[in-house]
Structure 1
Amino acid sequence: MQEYIVQAGDTLSNIARRFLGANGDWREIARINNITNPVSLQIGQRLLIPNPATPPIAQNPEVAMVRNTLQGVHPPNKIAISFTTVGSDLIANLLNTGQQERFAKTKDLGLYRFGIFKLRDFIIYGSGLLQQLQMSPSEINVMLVTSANEGSLDAINTWDNQYLSFGIFQWTLGSAGQAGELPALLSNLKRRYPTEFQYYFGQFGVDTISMDGVTGWLSLNGKQLVNAADKNIMRQPIWALRFAIAGMDALVQSVQVLHAVSRLDQFYFRPSQTLQGFALSQLLTSEFAVALLLDHHVNRPSHVIGCVADAIARSGLTAAQIAQGSGDNEALIIQNYLILRETYGGANAMTKSRERAESIRNAIATGNLSPQRFSFRSNRQVRV
């Protein structure tokens, strides 16, 4: 069951269409919530919504096996798959070879996979690809330490209300009726490496539409996935396996890293009236600061600007003084910011803020991150 709070303009019919895929399913919502008058909804009313049925899985669906791009090894054929479950382990059976892989664990409505491909390893074996994508050493440093608080390159989650999440920053398909960040990642892959996009996704009917560079929609066989009934198909194990396999490809991995660091374009380089007309890039300029801000934005994107503004106010300085000042001023703002972000947003404050900050701070001691003012250098202006 899901819970939904009635908003202005809602009817049982449009709620049913959004979550279950058909207007006529309003009767099931009414039954579960003991509603006798379907026009009696009240704003703020809490409704229990049944989970939509998962579409049947095609018999022996196929996957495209991972390409070893760096060594030029490209398997020629798709492979048919069946699935079995042993306890909570989901096992993929490769029907042409008899090989079995425990690739995920079941949970609630779907499954999860922590993954085995870590960004710290990719930074070594995929460094040439990152240079081709014109990522700066600073951007790579920041990604390396922030990803330690997130997932693996082949991580998957299909059990929660986002239907499917993928990769180091767990980009999501989006909740019912909402756009998600995962389509933007796939759009980036399609633009930079169209052959890989077609191999891992396009040949199975996946495409991206209605993109703004940040969020968007997936389509499957020409149908845009919007409501719960449409998106629920992505909970099927075959889609989790297809995404996990794509996450093992070095080119897909390189686009993940580039797409992750491009998140800074959403908030770090943009002037904000909340910051007295300055951009964060004019105020907090060390690799350490950028890593903290990016980590916060992945976890609570709407909190970052306001939390920094409160830290500035607490310091007794103006944004102009910080922009023109020394590293000591930046260090003071960071100190205040880290204190404030532990509780900023109240009950919805950043998850494990102190632990995540300590993980990033440890990268200074190991020489993987610089705390010096102006140490962060971005190549965003030279990337196409």
Structure 2
Amino acid sequence: MQEYIVQSGDTLSAIARRFLGASGNWQAIAQANNITNPNSLRVGQRLLIPTANAPRQPAAAPEVVMVRNTLQGIYPPTKTAISFTTVGSEVIAKLLNTGQQEPFAQTRGNGLYRLGIFKLRDFIGYGASLLQQVQLSTSEINVIQVTSANEGSLDAINTWDSQYLSFGIFQWTLGSAGQQGELPALLTKIKRLYPSEFQYYFGQFGVDVVSLDGVTGWLSLNGTRLVSDVDKNIMRQPIWALRFMIAGMDALVQSVQILHAVSRLDRFYFTPTQTLQGYTLSQLLNSEFAVALLLDHHVNRPSHVFGCVADAIARSGQTPAQVAQSAANQEAVIIQNYLQLRETYGGASAMTKSRDRAEQIRQSLNSGRLSAQRFSFRSNRQARLV
């Protein structure tokens, strides 16, 4: 081994990249120096650096659980050890107890992705009773079903981009380095509504959550809050993608995903704002079609929605007060202007594929899955707040 003295700005991953050839080898340095918290480096600290070809203690094979809740009942809790191989771009999980191999994701960049196979439209059919339990209205289900077509499946996973880990129909993220993410808020809701399922899929593997406002929060692993790049990079490992994927196949977890997706409307659709002269979006645009478009925009560019709608109303020759108080239905004109504006609203940070996403939602209107009638959107939020 050689010795290295920590300098200002050093991180374990940077030191590993310099001496061992890859930032992912930071754990070898941590093990050699009995470091349990990778963020605890101090300037002047002496580190022993293992040689790049030094033998390492074999790690125990990671484990996953099987899907617990299906509509056929509850499977007994089981765990199985897993190994991973990559063939071309396919990531393959091998169950060590049976030898069974399953491709479950594709490699990309620093991690992998899985589009998923469990679609929300299918769950609405087979999981209707669970949606009744979480008190979703028919309108809310219609809107989420259509909007999710622009996002992901219930078991979708992404670990390759700057958010480290994204999961589910709205691709809730762990958050960029140093930032909170939306994924912990989803996990908090799972923990509150179905604590045994949270423990089964996440808690027994050291995961816990701190959600400060029900919108974003922090993930912790074995008592360490994941904040820095080094911390969050752990969640790029294939084992975490597989664990979240399996959780996304659980019927109860799926129902909470849908509930959490709907609760996004509570954060902006019913909120008065000075941008709209103190009115709420629910007072101005209230068809199922309009709500689906607004939710789709908010998932992609949340900070743009109020301003874009305000500009669309102004372009229509109206004020928010006139729209809210008029007996005439101005929605079609406002929506037409809104869809034109949102393609470029925000300049370089405008909504991604705005026109394509709008067309996807418009097809649902044409097929009768959504209504364009004024006041056709019905929320069940008050019942859920009781």
Q: Distance in 2 between matches of 1:233 and 1:278?
A: 44
Match of 2:192 in 1: 191
The answer to whether structure 1 residue 220 and structure 2 residue 193 are counterparts is no
- Please give the per-residue CA displacement for 1:190-224, whole angstroms capped at 9, x wherever unaligned: 00111110100011010001421000000001110
Query: Residue 71 of structure 2 aligns to a residue in which SS?
Result: helix
Instruction: Tell me if structure 2 keeps the 8 A contact 1:177–1:228.
Output: yes
Q: Distance in 1 between matches of 2:23 and 2:323?
A: 51
**1:365 and 1:254, CA in 2 relative to 1: closer, same or farther beyond 3 A?**
same
Q: Distance in 1 between matches of 2:16 and 2:191?
A: 42
The answer to whether structure 1 residue 261 and structure 2 residue 262 are counterparts is yes
Instruction: Tell me if structure 2 keeps the 8 A contact 1:158–1:240.
Output: yes
**1:97 and 1:28, CA in 2 relative to 1: closer, same or farther beyond 3 A?**
closer
Match of 1:238 in 2: 239
**1:54 and 1:26, CA in 2 relative to 1: closer, same or farther beyond 3 A?**
closer
The answer to whether structure 1 residue 73 and structure 2 residue 74 are counterparts is yes
**1:162 and 1:338, CA in 2 relative to 1: closer, same or farther beyond 3 A?**
same
Counting only pairs closer than 5 Å after superposition, residues 180-329 of structure 1 correspond to structure 2 as: 180-326=181-327, 328-329=329-330
The one-letter code of the counterpart of 1:352 is K
**1:202 and 1:26, CA in 2 relative to 1: closer, same or farther beyond 3 A?**
closer
Counting only pairs closer than 5 Å after superposition, residues 1-384 of structure 1 correspond to structure 2 as: 13=8, 16=9, 20=11, 55=27, 58-326=59-327, 328-384=329-385
Match of 1:47 in 2: none
Query: Residue 382 of structure 1 aligns to a residue in which SS?
Result: helix
Shift of 1:295: 0.2
Shift of 1:52: 6.1
Unaligned residue ranges in structure 1 (runs of 5+): 1-11, 30-49
Q: Distance in 2 between matches of 1:73 and 1:275?
A: 48
Q: Distance in 1 between matches of 2:381 and 2:62?
A: 40
Instruction: Tell me if structure 1 keeps the 8 A contact 2:92–2:102.
Output: yes
Shift of 1:321: 1.0
Query: Which has the higher Rg, Structure 1 or Structure 2?
Result: 2
Q: Higher RCO, 1 or 2 (CA under 8 Å, sep at least 6)?
A: 1
The one-letter code of the counterpart of 1:183 is P
Q: Distance in 2 between matches of 1:189 and 1:230?
A: 23
Q: Distance in 2 between matches of 1:58 and 1:322?
A: 64
State the superposition RMSD in angstroms: 2.0
Instruction: Tell me if structure 2 keeps the 8 A contact 1:327–1:373.
Output: no
The one-letter code of the counterpart of 2:93 is A
Shifted more, 353-362 versus 60-69: the winner is 60-69
Q: Distance in 1 between matches of 2:99 and 2:274?
A: 61
Instruction: Tell me if structure 1 keeps the 8 A contact 2:17–2:23.
Output: no
Instruction: Tell me if structure 1 keeps the 8 A contact 2:143–2:292.
Output: yes
Instruction: Tell me if structure 1 keeps the 8 A contact 2:218–2:225.
Output: yes
Q: Distance in 1 between matches of 2:331 and 2:360?
A: 20
Shift of 1:27: 12
Instruction: Tell me if structure 1 keeps the 8 A contact 2:12–2:26.
Output: no
Instruction: Tell me if structure 1 keeps the 8 A contact 2:175–2:181.
Output: yes
**1:266 and 1:52, CA in 2 relative to 1: closer, same or farther beyond 3 A?**
farther
**1:231 and 1:327, CA in 2 relative to 1: closer, same or farther beyond 3 A?**
farther
Q: Distance in 2 between matches of 1:27 and 1:105?
A: 26
Shift of 1:54: 6.6
Instruction: Tell me if structure 2 keeps the 8 A contact 1:145–1:291.
Output: yes
Query: Residue 104 of structure 2 aligns to a residue in which SS?
Result: strand
Q: Distance in 2 between matches of 1:135 and 1:285?
A: 17
Instruction: Tell me if structure 2 keeps the 8 A contact 1:166–1:243.
Output: yes
- Please give the per-residue CA displacement for 1:214-263, whole angstroms capped at 9, x wherever unaligned: 00000001110000111110000000000000000010000000000101
Q: Distance in 2 between matches of 1:99 and 1:280?
A: 51
The one-letter code of the counterpart of 2:272 is P
Shift of 1:69: 3.1
The one-letter code of the counterpart of 2:95 is L
Instruction: Tell me if structure 1 keeps the 8 A contact 2:115–2:152.
Output: yes
Instruction: Tell me if structure 1 keeps the 8 A contact 2:16–2:25.
Output: no
The one-letter code of the counterpart of 2:185 is A
Query: Residue 103 of structure 1 aligns to a residue in which SS?
Result: strand
Match of 2:39 in 1: none
Match of 2:49 in 1: none
The one-letter code of the counterpart of 1:271 is P
